[in-house]
């Protein structure tokens, strides 16, 4: 058989089995195509299968085209109505079914355009009575299945013409005779809607049928709510099934006994109530029969509260610290609550969020709540923060003794209690490694006993010292009574008996009697004040440790309750000339003690002028007076009024004459001037003690360089004096006097002398107003700055001297520094000052200085609200907010809510003068924070915070390094001196300052933000060279010790940190030097002097005393008194002598530390060859 014939037979077979004729058409190429289709001239041949004939049932007819060897069949056209087909007739695409007599006419056209002649086939049917459609069934009913299934469609036509074909769709669309023809079982592998129908041979069409198959191979999911875990009470558990887009959940099965669940286990229908510890196991089944994976939840009914602990536990501590709270519970601890005041904590108490700051004695109570909502038991921890050192004393005290003594050392501590006492007997400084005191010490030779005590918290007391000397003592002690017996008393009194045994062995006891009998060592021993309620003869004597008995002494005490009587002679009245008044006091009992009076109309008191003799009245005067007797009884005030015609006063002319003279010696009287202010203190040529005199409102006035306390002068006194010298000091006319006569309180009232110069350019007219008593109102126009020892000054803006005026830089308000602190004077305050006008000219600068020596010289004080001046982290949890004015403690809430710091929680606030201390959460090192203060914070005058000054920034706390002075080169040319520091304890040096005691407000250097390590060396370069290339680096080293290497900058040291100071060095002379940390606390210091001829620097002893008071220099005093140039030892004796350091200028010879241990005394230091840049010693 030829290949072509075989292909045709295969096509015919396909047609007979109702397959698509297209399998034989052009869409499936001829296996033997015409090799030269362009030359095809032969028409194709078409035949019908089956051929026409007689049929008993419907018959499918297929038309097959053959163009063997040609270009291939292009199309076949046919008609069923007997008409001749054309290319416009129906185009054959698939077999068609004939159920009635039909003539089929057809022809084909090939690809070359050759068209065959039309052919025809006639089909006749013997039986045409079948009118019932067939019935089709599916072998598998619709439903949910969990695996692929096979479906068979079966057609039945009963007694009809028989089934001709079955058609179906699988996408849910309505099937037609053009739909796929069923020929074999269908495989259902996914969710499918099968729709189908059949047609019989007679052409009857069955109505479409449908079966829906849901193929679900994914198991459902199942969950329990709530989930397993710890629960504090019975729990209801809901099981939920979810089958997504699957067949849907059919059931849930579970077990409560721990067994594996199956479809045979209990079926879930409602929430399960669990009242005991239970393991719940469960699974779900969907409608397709898929079973989920088994799930399991364990429910533990937890009815026990959690335990809580604090770290550290309660106990004794030496400094503030933080406490961390922790909870231990298997179910977890979502919350812990606490109180700090000893109150029982509840769930309404503060919730623990982080370490708790403990700064004082605190009772911390706390409890936790577990995840099952159980409350744990409350825990109490008591913390004692003991920052107070104990005290220690010796009994007997040091002194001179004739025989050995047993000395007992006693420690007292109000905090944690005493732990130990340590002592030395060789004069060495004691430490905790020194001998521990266990019992009385026997001292029999000259001994310096030094001792310290340590409390349980570890605080160490200051060193106590007692010196015991032994000698032969044959002199009895001396006892005196604290109250003199020649002074009557008007109330019961207490008498103290004071025994002294100077140079002897010391007082061993005092004995007394109150009945007039002789006292002996068997009489009452004196132990404390002796109360006397009636007139009594007190007799007493003392005995020293050498047994020397004092002779009997006696004091008689009188009680007087009647006041004295005073009268003025002459009595008040009208007088035509000056009158001399005397005040006469009489007292029949104890006698008159003193008389007090006033002449300015004010009520006299115990601070009023003391009557010391007759006084002269030269003007209308009201004299008020009273007396006090020796017992202290005061009479009622009496009043006398004197009406006088004033006489002409030449004092103003005399003062004017003195002022007009050149500096010279003279002998000029001034009669009847009034003292306007008595300045009883002064320290030097620029600011001596003295007093001002003036006779009339319009002046003139003088400053008298004589201490008024020596002359017993005060403001308001009338004086007659002789001027012995007129001189000009700092532009101010001053006089010295040879003689003075004072009339107490008889001067012109100050209010009548006062001149208001607020609207006057007082600086331009300073010669006119110099030393005159003025009042001036104005505003403090700038910050205060030093103005001589103990004084500060600031610009004063007035109506007569406004800002920007020619005199604005020369008018200064000058105030005693302590007075400024008390008044809280700051920039912006408005004041009215009542005072003589001071002037000061030096180095070509002329300043006019309304001065305030006492608080009562200022009135009408009004100041702007406080402003935040700075903020500084003192500790990791402590921030100091410094204001420019003192803050009212009552305006600051202790909970700190008026202070906001983003990123930090503020838990408390406390006030200390200008400072508010905030306790915060843990700060991040060097992170920049901003603190904002609420306007409810007020100063001590009630002024609210200025809005523009309500915030400041600071950096998170960095532990400061501890530094020690180790070497100084004080005589480098051009003031480029060097100061070496050693790092005793590593940390940041940010803000540390090097300070000269001669100018403490202008540090020699302020160190940069650098973290240094223990053992590092720092060299501070003062007045660095900014002009010469390659000498000093452009700035301080902040990255490493070789950031600016010596090879490039000759002044630097590669072995040390090189920091740069301000533009001034250390000049030769007596001075103290301090290194202070960023908080202003002195870490180390020296006191150094230069031996030279002439008068030593007067200000140095005060610097030394301040250093000793800080505990930074030893000894703490000079023989029990403040160190001065005349004390023993003297201020020079206890200081470092660094004279030789200035003898060889440069860096080769320095003042160097020579001892490893720092004893804070001169022997730690010596002048020697330089070792700058290296550890020293």
- Superfamily designation of domain 307-385: Immunoglobulins (2.60.40.10)
pLDDT tens, residue by residue, 667-689:
888 888 999 999 987 766 678 89
Counting Cα atoms < 13 Å in the Cβ hemisphere of 674 gives 26
CA-CA-CA-CA torsion sign (70, 71, 72, 78):
negative
| Residue 151, token pair as written in the block | 């479906």
Task: Give me the pLDDT at residue 876, please.
Answer: 92
Report the alpha-carbon distance of residue 1022 to residue 1059 in Å, rounded.
9
Report the alpha-carbon distance of residue 292 to residue 286 in Å, rounded.
8
Task: Examine the pLDDT at 23 and tell me if it is beyond 50.
Answer: no
Residue 989, φ and ψ in degrees, nearest 5: -105, 10
Same-fold call for 221-301 versus 565-644:
yes
| Residue 217, token pair as written in the block | 């191979």
Q: What percent of the chain clears pLDDT 70, i.e. is strictly above it?
A: 95
Q: Strand runs (DSSP E) across 206-320, as ranges?
A: 209-215, 221-225, 229-231, 235-242, 249-255, 266-267, 272-274, 278-286, 295-301, 307-311, 315-317
Is the omega angle on the peptide bond into residue 1071 within 30 degrees of 0, that is, cis?
no
Say yes or no: domain 135-215 is CATH 1.10.3720.10. Answer: no
| Residue 1008, token pair as written in the block | 């940069």
Q: Give the count of beta carbons closer than 10 Å to the beta carbon of residue 148.
A: 12
| Residue 592, token pair as written in the block | 């008159």
What spatial distance separates the first Cα and last Cα of the chain, rounded to whole Å? 123
Tell me which architecture the domain covering 221-301 has in CATH: Sandwich (2.60)
Task: Give me the pLDDT at residue 126, please.
Answer: 57
Query: CA–CA distance from 851 to each of 593, 692, 716, 836, 1130 (Å)?
Result: 38, 13, 19, 7, 35
Report the alpha-carbon distance of residue 421 to residue 399 in Å, rounded.
21
Nearest of 468, 464, 467 to residue 450 by alpha carbon: 464
Asked if 74 and 109 touch (Cβ cutoff 8 Å), the reply is: yes
Report the alpha-carbon distance of residue 620 to residue 39 in Å, rounded.
161
H/E element, 817: helix 817-823
- Superfamily designation of domain 565-644: Immunoglobulins (2.60.40.10)
The stretch 116-144 carries a mean pLDDT of 84
Nearest of 770, 738, 733 to residue 666 by alpha carbon: 738
Task: Give me the pLDDT at residue 541, please.
Answer: 96
Report the alpha-carbon distance of residue 85 to residue 338 in Å, rounded.
106
The stretch 840-844 carries a mean pLDDT of 76
pLDDT band at 127 (very low <50, low <70, confident <90, very high): low
Tell me which architecture the domain covering 868-955 has in CATH: Sandwich (2.60)
CATH topology of domain 650-751: OB fold (Dihydrolipoamide Acetyltransferase, E2P) (2.40.50)
The stretch 95-103 carries a mean pLDDT of 87
Counting Cα atoms < 13 Å in the Cβ hemisphere of 274 gives 28
**Which are the contacts of 738, defined by CB distance < 8 A and separation ≥ 6?**
667, 722, 723, 724
The stretch 475-503 carries a mean pLDDT of 87
> At the top level of CATH, which class does the domain 391-470 belong to?
mainly beta
Report the alpha-carbon distance of residue 1124 to residue 1107 in Å, rounded.
13
Is the omega angle on the peptide bond into residue 312 within 30 degrees of 0, that is, cis?
yes
Asked if 135 and 148 touch (Cβ cutoff 8 Å), the reply is: no
Task: Give me the pLDDT at residue 753, please.
Answer: 92
pLDDT band at 7 (very low <50, low <70, confident <90, very high): very low
Task: Examine the pLDDT at 704 and tell me if it is beyond 90.
Answer: yes
DSSP state of 634: B
Asked if 574 and 555 touch (Cβ cutoff 8 Å), the reply is: no
pLDDT tens, residue by residue, 774-809:
999 999 999 888 887 788 999 999 999 999 999 999
DSSP string, 371-399: TT-PBPPPEEEEEEE--SPPEEEEESPSE
Say yes or no: domain 754-863 is CATH 1.10.3470.10. Answer: no
Asked if 973 and 1145 touch (Cβ cutoff 8 Å), the reply is: yes
Q: Which residue has the tokens 């038309």?
A: 63
Report the alpha-carbon distance of residue 372 to residue 232 in Å, rounded.
4
Nearest of 53, 72, 55, 51 to residue 7 by alpha carbon: 72
Task: Give me the pLDDT at residue 644, please.
Answer: 64
| Residue 301, token pair as written in the block | 């009914």
Task: Examine the pLDDT at 168 and tell me if it is beyond 50.
Answer: yes
Who wins on pLDDT, 209 or 575? 209
Task: Examine the pLDDT at 962 and tell me if it is beyond 60.
Answer: yes
Task: Give percent helix, percent strand, percent coil of the chain, each to the nearest 5.
Answer: 5, 45, 50
| Residue 465, token pair as written in the block | 């010292």
Query: CA–CA distance from 770 to each of 558, 716, 850 (Å)?
Result: 55, 19, 10
pLDDT tens, residue by residue, 425-434:
998 999 999 9
**CATH (one of 2.60.40, 3.30.420, 1.10.12, 2.160.20) for 478-557:** 2.60.40
- Superfamily designation of domain 3-125: Immunoglobulins (2.60.40.10)
26-45: string of b/e by CB count within 10 Å (b at 16+)? eeeebeeebeeeeebeebbb
DSSP string, 734-776: EEEEEEEEEETT-S--HHHH-EE-TTS-TTTTHHHHTT-EEEE
CA 918 remoteness from chain centre: 6
pLDDT band at 1 (very low <50, low <70, confident <90, very high): very low
**Which are the contacts of 1170, defined by CB distance < 8 A and separation ≥ 6?**
967, 969, 1147, 1148, 1149, 1150, 1152
**Which are the contacts of 485, defined by CB distance < 8 A and separation ≥ 6?**
538, 555, 556, 557, 558
Asked if 247 and 286 touch (Cβ cutoff 8 Å), the reply is: yes
DSSP string, 159-187: TSS-EEEEEEESBSPPP-TTSPBP-SPEE
The stretch 577-594 carries a mean pLDDT of 90
Task: Examine the pLDDT at 28 and tell me if it is beyond 80.
Answer: no
Q: 3-state DSSP call for residue 339? A: strand
Q: What percent of the chain clears pLDDT 90, i.e. is strictly above it?
A: 61
Task: Give me the pLDDT at residue 463, please.
Answer: 92
Task: Examine the pLDDT at 570 and tell me if it is beyond 90.
Answer: yes
| Residue 931, token pair as written in the block | 């603190």
Task: Examine the pLDDT at 400 and tell me if it is beyond 70.
Answer: no
Asked if 525 and 495 touch (Cβ cutoff 8 Å), the reply is: no
pLDDT, mean over the chain: 88
H/E element, 1104: helix 1100-1109
Q: 3-state DSSP call for residue 780? A: strand
Instruction: Give the 3-state secondary structure of 981-1020.
Output: EEEEECEECCCCEEEECCCCCCCCEECCCCEECCCCEEEE
Task: Examine the pLDDT at 5 and tell me if it is beyond 50.
Answer: no
Least confident of 61-70, 99-108, 400-409: 400-409
pLDDT band at 360 (very low <50, low <70, confident <90, very high): confident
pLDDT band at 4 (very low <50, low <70, confident <90, very high): very low
Domain coordinates of the chain in residue numbers?
3-125, 135-215, 221-301, 307-385, 391-470, 478-557, 565-644, 650-751, 754-863, 868-955, 962-1169
CATH topology of domain 962-1169: Immunoglobulin-like (2.60.40)
Who wins on pLDDT, 17 or 349? 349
Counting Cα atoms < 13 Å in the Cβ hemisphere of 338 gives 24
Report the alpha-carbon distance of residue 1177 to residue 967 in Å, rounded.
9
**Which are the contacts of 958, defined by CB distance < 8 A and separation ≥ 6?**
873, 925, 926, 987, 988, 990, 1011
Task: Give me the pLDDT at residue 1092, please.
Answer: 82
pLDDT tens, residue by residue, 1014-1032:
999 999 999 999 889 999 9
The stretch 503-532 carries a mean pLDDT of 91
Asked if 931 and 892 touch (Cβ cutoff 8 Å), the reply is: no
Asked if 451 and 463 touch (Cβ cutoff 8 Å), the reply is: yes
Report the alpha-carbon distance of residue 939 to residue 914 in Å, rounded.
9
The stretch 581-595 carries a mean pLDDT of 91
Who wins on pLDDT, 201 or 147? 147
Residue 200, φ and ψ in degrees, nearest 5: -95, 180
Q: Burial level of 1050, CB count in 10 A (0-12/13-18/19+)?
A: exposed
């Amino acid at each position: 058989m030829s290949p072509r014939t075989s292909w045709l037979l295969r096509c015919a077979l396909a047609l007979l089995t109702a397959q698509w004729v297209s399998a034989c058409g052009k869409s499936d190429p001829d296996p033997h195509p015409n090799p030269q289709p362009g030359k095809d001239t032969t028409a194709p041949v078409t035949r019908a299968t089956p051929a026409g004939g007689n049929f008993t049932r419907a018959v499918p007819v297929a038309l097959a085209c053959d163009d063997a060897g040609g270009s291939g069949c292009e199309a076949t056209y046919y008609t069923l109505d007997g008409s001749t087909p054309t290319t416009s007739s129906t185009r054959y695409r698939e077999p068609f079914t004939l159920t009635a007599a039909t003539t089929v006419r057809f022809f084909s056209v090939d690809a070359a355009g050759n068209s065959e002649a039309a052919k025809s086939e006639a089909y006749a049917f013997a039986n045409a009575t079948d009118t019932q459609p067939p019935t089709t069934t599916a072998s598998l009913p619709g439903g949910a299945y969990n695996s692929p299934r096979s479906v068979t469609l079966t057609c039945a036509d009963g007694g009809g013409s028989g089934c001709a074909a079955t058609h179906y769709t699988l996408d849910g669309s309505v099937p037609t005779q053009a739909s796929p023809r069923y020929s074999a079982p269908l495989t259902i592998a996914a969710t499918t809607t099968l729709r189908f129908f059949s047609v019989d041979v007679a052409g009857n069409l069955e109505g479409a049928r449908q079966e829906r198959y849901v193929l679900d191979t994914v198991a459902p999911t199942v969950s329990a709510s709530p989930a397993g875990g710890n629960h504090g009470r019975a729990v209801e558990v809901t099981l939920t099934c979810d089958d997504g887009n699957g067949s849907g959940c059919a059931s849930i099965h579970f077990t409560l006994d721990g067994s594996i669940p199956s479809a045979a286990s209990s079926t879930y229908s409602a929430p399960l109530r669990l009242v005991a510890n239970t393991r719940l196991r469960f699974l779900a089944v969907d409608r397709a029969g898929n079973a989920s994976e088994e799930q399991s939840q364990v429910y533990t009914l937890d009815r026990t509260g959690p335990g809580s602990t604090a770290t550290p536990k309660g106990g004794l501590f030496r400094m503030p610290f933080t406490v961390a709270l922790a909870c231990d519970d298997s179910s977890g601890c979502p919350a812990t609550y606490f109180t700090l005041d000893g109150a029982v904590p509840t769930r309404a108490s503060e919730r623990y969020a982080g370490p708790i700051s403990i700064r004082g004695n605190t009772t911390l109570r706390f409890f936790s709540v577990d995840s099952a909502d159980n409350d744990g038991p409350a825990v109490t921890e008591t913390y004692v923060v003991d920052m107070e050192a104990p005290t220690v004393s010796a009994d007997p005290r040091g002194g001179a003794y004739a025989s050995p003594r047993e000395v007992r050392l006693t420690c007292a501590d109000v905090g944690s209690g005493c732990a130990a006492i340590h002592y030395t007997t060789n004069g060495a400084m004691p430490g905790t490694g020194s001998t521990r005191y266990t019992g009385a010490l026997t001292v029999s030779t000259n001994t310096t006993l030094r001792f310290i005590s340590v409390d349980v918290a570890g605080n160490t007391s200051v060193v106590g010292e007692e010196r015991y000397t032994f000698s032969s003592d044959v002199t009895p002690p001396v006892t005196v009574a604290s109250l003199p017996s020649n002074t009557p008393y008007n109330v019961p009194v207490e008498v103290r008996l004071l025994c002294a045994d100077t140079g002897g062995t010391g007082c061993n006891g005092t004995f007394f009697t109150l009945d007039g009998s002789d006292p002996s060592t068997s009489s009452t021993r004196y132990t404390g004040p002796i109360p006397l309620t009636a007139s009594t003869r007190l007799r007493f004597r003392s005995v020293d440790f050498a047994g020397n008995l004092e002779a009997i002494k006696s004091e008689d005490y009188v009680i007087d309750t009647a006041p004295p009587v005073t009268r003025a002679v002459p009595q008040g009245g009208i007088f035509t000339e000056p009158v001399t008044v005397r005040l006469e006091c009489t007292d029949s009992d104890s006698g008159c003690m003193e008389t007090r009076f006033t002449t300015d109309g004010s009520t006299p008191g115990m601070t009023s002028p003391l009557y010391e003799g007759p006084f002269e009245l030269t003007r209308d005067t009201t004299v008020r007076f009273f007396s006090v007797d020796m017992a202290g009884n005061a009479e009622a005030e009496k009043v006398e009024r004197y009406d006088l015609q004033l006489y002409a006063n030449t004092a103003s002319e005399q003062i004017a004459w003195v002022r007009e003279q050149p500096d010279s010696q003279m002998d000029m009287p001034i009669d009847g001037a009034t003292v306007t202010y008595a300045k009883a203190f002064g320290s030097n040529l620029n600011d001596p003690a003295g007093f001002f005199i003036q006779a009339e409102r319009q002046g003139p006035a003088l400053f008298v360089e004589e201490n008024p306390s020596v002359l017993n002068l005060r403001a308001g006194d009338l004086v007659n004096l002789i001027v012995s010298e007129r001189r000009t000091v700092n532009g101010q006319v001053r006089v010295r006097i040879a003689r003075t006569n004072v009339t107490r309180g008889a001067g012109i009232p100050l209010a009548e002398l006062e001149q208001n110069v607020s609207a006057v350019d007082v600086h331009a007219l300073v010669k006119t107003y110099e030393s005159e008593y003025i009042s001036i109102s104005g505003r403090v126009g700038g910050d205060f700055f030093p103005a001589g020892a103990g004084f500060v000054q600031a610009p004063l803006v007035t109506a007569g001297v406004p800002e920007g005026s020619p005199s604005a830089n020369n008018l200064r308000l000058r105030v005693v520094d302590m007075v400024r602190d008390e008044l809280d004077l700051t920039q912006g305050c408005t004041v009215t000052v009542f005072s003589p006008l001071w002037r000061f000219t030096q180095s070509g600068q002329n300043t006019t200085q309304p001065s305030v020596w006492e608080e009562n010289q200022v009135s009408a004080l009004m100041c702007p609200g406080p402003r935040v001046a700075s903020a500084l982290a003192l500790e990791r949890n402590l921030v100091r907010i410094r204001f420019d004015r003192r803050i009212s403690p009552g305006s600051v809430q202790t909970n700190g809510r008026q202070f906001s710091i983003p990123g930090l929680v503020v838990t408390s606030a406390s006030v200390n003068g200008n400072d508010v201390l905030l306790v915060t959460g843990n700060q991040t090192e060097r992170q920049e924070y901003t603190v904002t203060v609420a306007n409810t914070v007020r100063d001590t005058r009630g002024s609210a915070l200025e809005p523009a000054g309500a915030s400041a920034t600071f950096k998170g706390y960095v532990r400061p390094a501890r530094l020690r002075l180790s070497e100084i080169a004080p005589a480098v040319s051009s003031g480029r001196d060097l100061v070496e520091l050693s790092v005793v304890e590593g940390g940041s040096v940010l803000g540390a300052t090097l300070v000269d005691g001669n100018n403490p407000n202008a540090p020699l250097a302020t160190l940069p933000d650098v973290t240094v390590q223990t053992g590092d060396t720092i060299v501070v370069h003062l007045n660095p060279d900014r002009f010469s290339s390659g000498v000093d680096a452009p700035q301080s080293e902040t990255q490493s010790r070789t950031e600016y290497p010596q090879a490039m900058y000759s002044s630097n040291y590669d072995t040390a940190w090189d920091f740069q100071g301000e533009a001034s060095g250390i000049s030769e002379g007596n001075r103290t030097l301090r290194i202070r940390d960023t908080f202003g606390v002195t870490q180390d210091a020296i006191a150094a002097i230069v031996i030279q001829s002439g008068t030593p620097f007067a200000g140095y002893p005060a610097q030394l005393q301040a250093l000793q008071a800080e505990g930074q220099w030893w000894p703490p005093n000079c023989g029990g008194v403040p160190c001065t140039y005349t004390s023993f030892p003297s201020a020079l004796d206890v200081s470092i002598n660094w004279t030789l350091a200035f003898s060889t200028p440069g860096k080769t010879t320095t003042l160097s530390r020579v001892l490893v241990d720092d004893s804070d005394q001169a022997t730690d230091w010596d002048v020697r060859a330089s070792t700058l840049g290296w550890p020293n010693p």
